Amino acid sequence: MSDQYTLLDALDRAVEMYPQNIAVRCHDQSWTYRAFRDRITRVASGLAHLGIAPGDRIAVLSDGCHRFIELYWAAMAAGAIVVPIGTRLSKDEVHYLLTDSAPAALVTDREDRHDLLHELGPSARFCISFQEELSHGIAYEALTRTEPDTIKWPRHSLDTPVGIFYTAAVQGVPQGAVITQGNWLAQAIQTGVGLGIGPDDTCGVFLPLYHMFGAYMMVVTTCHGATNAVLPAFAADEAARLIQAQRVTFFAEFAPMADRLLSAATTQGIDLAQSLRFVVGIDLPETINRYLAQGIRWFNLYGQTEVAGLCVTGEVHAGTDFNNYSGRPMLLTRVSLRNPQGDPVPAGESGELWVRSPTVVVRYWPDRPTRLTPDGWLRTGDILRADAAGNLWYIGRSDDKYLIKSGGENVYPAEVEQVLRQHPAIAQACVFGVPDPVWKEAVRAVIVVKPDHHVTPDEVRAFCRERIAHFKCPKDVIMVTELPQTGGQIDRDAVRQRYGSARSDSPAG
């Protein structure tokens, strides 16, 4: 199987140590670790019998469910690579991901999603259906009835890829971060230790399993013999009831999930503190304080897809100033704050965060370079500040990365601008983030309309919604006659300074 200790060894250890612990709960069903491992082995065998070979990609477009979790592990056992596809992406975005990753198999949970993938990924050899009632494709449950003893299992190493997570559309085109066994095994160690996750815990799987944060937390939970309690898609009232019914002890979130969940729990008379030990996420101070007031611990964080999850986390406490506090480097992570010349900055000064860790992704699919330095540091493109004790505070983005974080999702201005420029009435566009009370940041577009053309903000938004995910579409649209430029290029800083506080959807000069 392998000369190295891999994620599959960590899973087998959990099975050996906690065979009767519940690995996954989904709806009214549950599976012990022993039963979970058996299903994974059978599905992996079924994939191999279908002709899935080590290195083949399996694209998945689905809401959360126990089968999605199993597939991550089954594909891993078979040596295949999962390519999760966001359910909120547009048809054009899905088409790009399928074209770039060239999957051998497609997996869906709904008829319309099957039709979409079949249309956009015709080169795939077959489609698997999570829901047995679908009229097309191979039923996933049929794979669980495969006898595994005739399969020759592939050899695994820490460098074996397990997933391709698309991100970093800095130049307008998403790139697939290749996650390896070693990346997630290191995360299982440092995240489990940092958050104190153990076999008596239950994780509320409220984040989508196609998102790095959701998938990676599921892997960490499994490696520690804890329970994954799955919510197919986040709904605050259902999440509150699940916490109560399944005795959930922690969950990961992005704003505004935690605020809505706590409000729903209050309305239903549910005391989250009866079981909930902690939350890890990014949210507004007032939301965090509501949890702290109930005795529920809160961990702030910093992470990105290129570190396969988190690399900095820290507990916050009531009565302290934790706004923009990220925490401290995790167990297997070294960080360094550098100036534009690459030299370390002293404590108290801001600098670009460089990360060195076995969690760091070394390539984009298929073999495109990441922002690695020759000596193995990942340049994150984000600006942080550290005090003398090593505590880190998030400041913003560096000049070459104007990433917008909206509700925990990455929005790259270049990608949105590329879509805006496709509109026949738009000559120029500049996109940036503005503060938002619910999503932390919202997308604002400042556009120049071509002479003798006319377009309304609503028409601009509708045009974008047909081509990119809704969370990437401009919430505000400002029309101007010209954009400030420097050296023949749009001056982003000047645009932000001039229009960052302008009234939304307003004509401006």
- Parse the chain into domains and list their residue ranges: 7-181, 404-499
| Confidence check: pLDDT of 167 > 60 | yes
Q: Is residue 135 over pLDDT 70?
A: no
Which one has a higher pLDDT value, 133 or 436?
436
> The domain 404-499: what is its CATH number?
3.30.300.30
> CA 89, CA 85: separation in Å to the nearest integer?
8
Q: What is the 3-state secondary structure (H, E, C) of 98-167?
A: HHHHCCCEEEECCHHHHHHHHHHCCCCCEEEECCCCCCCCEEHHHHCCCCHHHCCCCCCCCCCEEEEEEE
Residue in the block written with tokens 């959360």: 64
The 10s digit of each residue's pLDDT in 234-249 is 999 999 999 999 999 9
Q: State the DSSP code for 478.
A: E
Confidence label for 21 from pLDDT (cuts 50, 70 and 90): very high
Residue 487: what pLDDT?
67
DSSP code, position 251: E
pLDDT digits (tens, 9 = 90+) for 105-129: 999 999 999 999 989 988 899 999 9
Between CA 119 and CA 414 the distance in angstroms is 27
Q: What does the pLDDT average to over 2-6?
A: 84
Separation of alpha carbons 477 and 443, rounded Å: 9
Mean pLDDT computed over 375-399: 89
State the burial class of residue 106 (Cβ atoms within 10 Å of its Cβ: 0-12, 13-18, 19+): buried
d(CA 425, CA 187): 47
Give the model's pLDDT for residue 133: 66
Which one has a higher pLDDT value, 131 or 188? 188
Q: Calculate mean pLDDT across residues 451-461.
A: 95
Q: What is residue 340's predicted lDDT score, i.e. its pLDDT?
A: 86
Kind and range of the H or E element at 194?
helix 181-195
pLDDT for position 348 = 87
Res 108: pLDDT: 95
What pLDDT does residue 401 have? 59
pTM of the predicted structure, to 2 decimals: 0.86
Please say if the pLDDT value at position 190 is more than 80.
Answer: yes
Task: Give me the mean pLDDT over the 128-135 stretch.
Answer: 80
Q: What is the mean pLDDT of residues 10-24?
A: 98
- Is a pLDDT exceeding 70 seen at residue 400? no
Name the pLDDT band for 233 (thresholds 50, 70, 90).
very high
| CA 222/CA 66 separation, integer angstroms | 12
Task: Give the angle subtended at the CA of 384 by the CAs of 381 and 389, to the nearest 5°.
Answer: 140
Predicted confidence at residue 53, as pLDDT, reads 95
318 closest CA partner among 339, 298, 332, 345: 298
Structure tokens at 128: 């698997």
The CATH-assigned architecture of domain 7-181 is 3-Layer(aba) Sandwich (3.40)
Per-residue pLDDT averaged across 490-501, rounded? 89
pLDDT greater than 70 at residue 169: no
Question: CB neighbours of 302 closer than 8 A, spacing ≥ 6?
Answer: 310, 311, 312, 313, 326, 327, 353, 382, 384, 392, 394
pLDDT band for position 503 (cuts 50, 70, 90): low
What is the per-residue pLDDT for 506? 56
Mean pLDDT within 469-495? 89
- pLDDT score of 509: 42
pLDDT digits (tens, 9 = 90+) for 315-367: 999 998 888 899 999 999 999 999 989 999 999 888 999 999 999 999 999 99
- Which pLDDT band holds residue 504 (cuts at 50, 70, 90)? low
